[in-house]
Chain A
Amino acid sequence: MNWLTNYVRPKIRALVEKNDVPDNLWHQCPSCEQMIFHRELEASLRVCGHCGHHMRLPAKERLELLFDDGEYQTVELPKLTADPLKFRDRKRYTDRLKESRASTGEEDAMIVAHGEMGGRNVVVAIMNFAFMGGSMGLALGKALLTAARLAVLQEAPLICFTSSGGARMQEGILSLMQMPRTIIAVDEVKEAHLPYITVLTDPTTGGVTASFAMLGDIAIAEPGAVIGFAGARVIEETIREKLPEGFQRAEYLLEHGMIDRVVHRRQLRDELIRISNLLLESRAAADVVPLISDSSKKNKKNPETPEASNDKESGSEERPAAE
């Protein structure tokens, strides 16, 4: 130990290294540019206290907010094991996948969870924008199908949180084919007369919007969320015009009749519970009141019995591995 190690080295280190205070203690609101302390931001569910701007909320944080006591179980999902197109742009697709898996700790862009919400069992399919822009590929299509079939199995509502840049280009045509696949998935829920509720969060665009995102029995959006088919830049380049104020924002869609409601993040859970309760009231009554025989009760639930049985058949092969 000498002067060099005791005095000079720490000084140099202090110069070179960043100080201990993490630099993410303060966040700047991207909308009003006010600085927000990180604790305040967490307490406000990442909604700016100054202007009400809803910042993106990581999928896991959302799930905690949603379920009773923040308790839920995630469903193990099939993951992509091959690169069907051997896709390579400036990077290999397999490398991009690896990076996203490492940085997010998730296998792909959708998480499926189930648990109780307001005392009722619900299945939640939630997209993770942090994973390759929430892009839709084979794994995501399969994930939504798994979620839908779990909802049917549990006679639970399916709630889907969307946030996506659209199709996953690296899976080429196979990503496009997830549009019909995800539509089939949510239609299985609808055929079982269970609610399919979408919560469109920022941003929801492209092939995701043009498939399951826009087919909710009830469509809710978060304030200010960008929701659209084509990207704003593409539209501007095509029509060579400035886009109107608030274009493709949740409020704009509401005004144009494209969604049911715009709901503040803080009210979202209550809203979902209330809607599910209201929608399922007659179903619950049918379950409770043993008016007539079993078979007629079944008919009441599933007027299109032959179709429903068809789908059930394939459902048994694809039965999700619920934890």
Chain B
Amino acid sequence: MTTFLEFEKPVAELEGKMEELRHMSDIGDIKIADELSKLQGRIDRSLTQIYAKLSPWQTVMVARHPDRPHCIDYISSLIDEFTPLAGDRVFAEDAAILGGLGRFRGRSVVVIGQEKGNDTETRVKHNFGMARPEGYRKAQRLMNLAEQFSLPIITLVDTPGAYPGIGAEERGQAEAIARSIEVCLDLHVPMVSVVIGEGGSGGAIAIAAANRVLMMQHSVYSVISPEGCASILWRSADHAEEAADALKLTAEDLLRLGVIDAIIPEPLGAAHRDRDDTIKRVGDGIEEALKEIDGMDGAALRTQRRERFITLGNDALSS
């Protein structure tokens, strides 16, 4: 059963009709198969129309869509011989961040990503993709492992943000994030990050200070959630839609601002409508990005990664 977003209402109605038709047999001249294909045509046109002019706020809704493929789905399709590695060796295992060794299109890699879960049980298990300090310390450990064995790193970003809790603060959430970014920036191995859903602030950049940063067409990446921004600047979360506009958080915006390197297009009606195709596209995007930085040696990779953040946005400053 598909979950429809509010602005997908016309599509939902058409799909409802299709569902009814599927249970009917041909009546006289009316061929059900023909009707179905006509309806499918209308659905596609409607989706094309809706998705051609998604507002930033609607994009946020799509990026958070419960049926959207998550980190686990990409790993299970794209990574062979996946070998999950657990724990930060200090305090705990944090299932909000998955990570491990595996083979991406024939090549040994380290994969790290946030997992949100897809039903109540798994959402609780993965804490809705909101990592605690242990998650970021595990990420550091895995990145260091990749460095030690000269393996490329792929990170999949999908988090509302780092977890705001008492224990998380006590165990140094801020330090864990800062250190994780520091580790990213010091690596001598290729690192590619893909924002697959929600790039939530510090919790996202902690594993995304990479050589190549990609975003999926309907993902978002922001310094603060539109709701959080609205409640601070507009003094009410009801203004989230305006905040989403103002924050410039879509893939297109970020490409224009020079924060990301490329956008991975999604199938018609977004990732959740064709998961297999989506996952393949993401795989192709990662392969392409890795190819671009393949020839660089360790020092050059490190320098390139650092330079991108040093120079970013400099044109808005006086010299």
Contact = CB atoms under 8 A, between A and B. Distances in A.
Given A85-B246, A175-B223, A235-B166, A180 B309 contact: yes
Interface string B108-145: 00000000000000000000000000000000000000
A29 interface: no
A235 B185 contact: no
B174 A85 contact: no
Given A87-B247, A215-B175, A307-B299, 18 more contacts: A78-B318, A78-B319, A80-B316, A82-B315, A138-B313, A138-B314, A169-B232, A169-B247, A173-B259, A176-B205, A179-B178, A180-B185, A209-B178, A235-B169, A256-B170, A310-B299, A314-B303, A318-B310
B177 interface: yes
Interface of B: 162-166, 168-175, 177-179, 181-182, 184-186, 201-202, 205-206, 209, 221-224, 228-229, 232-234, 242-243, 246-249, 253-254, 257, 259, 299, 302-303, 306-307, 309-310, 312-319
Given A174-B259, A244-B166, A142 B314 contact: yes
A211 B136 CA distance: 13
A163 interface: no
B150 to A, nearest CB: 17
Interface stretch (A42-50, A63-71, A226-234, A286-294): A226-234
A172 interface: yes
Interface in A161-193: 167, 169, 171-177, 179-181, 183-184, 187
Contacts of B164: 229-231, 234-235, 238
Contacts of B242: 89
Contacts of B182: 183, 187, 215
A257 to B, nearest CB: 8
A180 B184 CA distance: 9
A145 interface: yes
A245 to B, nearest CB: 12
B243 A89 contact: yes
A84 B224 CA distance: 17
30 contacts: A85-B247, A87-B247, A89-B242, A89-B246, A169-B232, A169-B233, A174-B257, A177-B313, A179-B178, A179-B181, A181-B309, A183-B185, A187-B186, A206-B202, A209-B174, A210-B173, A210-B202, A210-B206, A211-B181, A229-B164, A229-B169, A229-B174, A230-B162, A230-B169, A239-B165, A247-B169, A248-B169, A256-B172, A258-B175, A314-B303
A173 B221 contact: yes
Interface in A232-273: 234-235, 238-239, 241, 243-244, 247-248, 252, 256-258
Question: Which 10 interchain pairs have the tightest Cβ spacing?
Answer: A230-B164, A89-B233, A209-B174, A229-B174, A210-B177, A176-B223, A78-B317, A180-B309, A214-B175, A82-B316
Which of A215, A229, A258 has the most chain B CB atoms closer than 10 A to its own CB?
A229
Nearest to A234: B164
B165 to A, nearest CB: 6
A78 B172 CA distance: 33
A247 B166 contact: yes
A187 B177 contact: no
Nearest to A141: B313
A247 B228 CA distance: 22
A180 B209 contact: yes
A76 B318 CA distance: 11
A197 to B, nearest CB: 16
B248 A173 contact: yes
A223 interface: no
